[in-house]
Amino acid sequence: MLGNLLIAIICFGVDRFSKRLVLARCAWGVSYPITSFCNVELAANYGVAFSWFSKAGTAVIAISLMVATAVVAWLLSEWLKDGRECRLSCGYRVASAVLLGGILGNGVDRWCYGMVIDFIALHWDNRWYFPIFNIADVWITVGAFVLLLVSGLDGSER
């Protein structure tokens, strides 16, 4: 379990560091080109993924914090359940720790600021723009994808 927590703490720390760095060096709404397809653009996300439900106000904050708390509790209970940590696959343990780090990163934003700080803006040929996101979103997406992949490979082992 300590290895899982260490991975989650590292993911959480990378997310927090990246957000603090961007907050200290960038202005809100200004686009800073990094490559031909990626900009840093500080944006406030009051909704959930891709700013969906951004007009819902405090309901989104409350519901997302409750869901995040439930997922964190479930992950921790899985790690501790019946001392079976050693039987959980490596992929499951790493993916759930990465997911936890991302959930905590965005959860801290919601708790402290009432929004999530996003700053990675991907685009192609100045025509196609992907919604702005952050490092925690990457951790959540990768962790959830690997959990689904590992669960689909062997239903008997998590």
Which residue is catalytic, options 82, 109, 125, 137? 137
Name the residue ranges covered by the structural domains of the chain: 2-151
Average pLDDT over residues 126-152: 89
* HSE toward the beta carbon, residue 88, CA cutoff 13 A: 23
Task: Dihedral sign for Cα 31, 34, 36, 37, please.
Answer: negative
pLDDT, position 157 = 47
Which residue is catalytic, options 109, 118, 125, 154? 118
Lowest mean pLDDT among 58-62, 66-70, 152-156: 152-156
Q: Tell me whether residue 15 is one of the annotated catalytic residues.
A: no
Q: Which two tokens stand for residue 40?
A: 């840093």
Q: Tell me whether residue 125 is one of the annotated catalytic residues.
A: no
Reported as a single tens digit per residue, the pLDDT across 16-56 is 999 999 999 999 989 999 999 999 999 998 876 655 555 55
Residues 6+ apart with CB under 8 A from 50: 131
Average pLDDT over residues 53-63: 63
Reported as a single tens digit per residue, the pLDDT across 98-115 is 999 998 999 899 889 988
